[in-house]
Structure 1
């Protein structure tokens, strides 16, 4: 279980060390990996469509460092199209067993092809086949159509390494806002927010009312 103050300083205001929020995230993430029964890397990612209407869904955090938070998807999916038109996103990881959450938002960039290739190669073969078979977010006339596509792609790549589809890529959210929330009795929760003007800027941090 978390410590009484979850690693958050009792006083927090002013400039922050460049790595401070990411170091704190790593500590919390390690505890979530030990405590969460399912998918501690599950996170909600919100984008916006052409009208500005928010669109949110669950994805998996596959890489994180001081540059940001990375997930992979089909660039022709709804979120891929929305990010192409408006390359900004917000996200949240909620660890119910620890009564903690981390929120972030900022501009989004595509990871390098080499990064996408490396992660695609690490996936299970059936998941690699699925990346070719699924036209993500497009209308599906019947479940059988998808099953038939999986059979066809499995046969097409039989006996060979499956290459990464060009449309299957990674996105990195580079946070300009990063907030750590920890549950407290009587809804007097603890919140510390790290903010910066740009992904290259210096962090400021401060505590927020619950």
Structure 2
């Protein structure tokens, strides 16, 4: 029964990109702090391959702090219109500076400036403060490329477990559980 779950994910993601109305690459990212207190938020998948699933963020954000304390995470892709979901669990590491630089360079200028202006996850006294910080970044980099801030970069979740879930009539859903071993993937089924 064993297949490559990354190949199946690729096919499902292509179907989602063709049919989902908004952000087919959206995924819930669950982290926990050193005391095991969980936190979850939506982020965007910006790359994946056999090494794992990549997202980018401010490395001084709450999620980054939790990942520094507990370098494991869970991801959930839910494609409601396709009636499918994918769960991923595994350790998290930084992507290389070269990968972070390349992705940052591909972002819109507004997003690049926003990365400089935002103290992500920290309290904000007034929206005007953020807008002023954005204007200052725009002035600072006027007429030039916007470099990647030193506090901004990517993370890779290396999958140890991948569950592929498909909706079936009568709640008789189909759940395939893949577990990474030293020699590849093993597959089993889960009751719905």
Matched residues in 1 for 2:164 and 2:108: separation?
33
What stretches of structure 1 of length at least 5 have no aligned partner?
Answer: 1-11
1:50 to 2:51 alignment:
no
Equivalent residue in structure 2 for 1:122, among 101, 106, 114 = 106
Structure 1 consecutive aligned stretches of length 4 or more whose deviation exceeds 6 Å: none
Partner-residue secondary structure (3-state), 2:147:
coil
In 1, the alpha carbon distance for the partners of 2:130 and 2:99 equals: 28
- TM-score normalized with structure 2 length: 0.97
Distance 2:17 2:183 in 1: 30
Output one character per residue of 1:136-161: Cα deviation in whole Å (capped at 9) or x when no partner. Answer: 01110111100110111100100001
- Distance in 1 (CA, whole Å) between partners of 2:30 and 2:108 is 27
2:77 is aligned with 1:93: yes
Cα separation, partners in 2 of 1:88 and 1:201, compared to 1, 3 Å = farther
- Tell me what 1:136 maps to: 120
Which residue is 1:78 aligned to? 62
- C-alpha RMSD of the superposition: 1.0
User: Which SS does the other structure have where 1:128 is aligned?
Assistant: helix
Give the corresponding residue for 1:3.
none
Residue by residue, what CA displacement relative to the aligned partner does 1:161-208 show, whole Å, maximum 9, x if unpaired? 1100011110000000000000000111000000125xx552110111
Which of 52, 56, 63 aligns to 1:68? It is: 52
**1:204 corresponds to:** 186
Task: Work out whether 1:176 is the aligned partner of 2:137.
Answer: no
TM-score (norm 1): 0.89
Secondary structure in 2 matching 1:97: helix
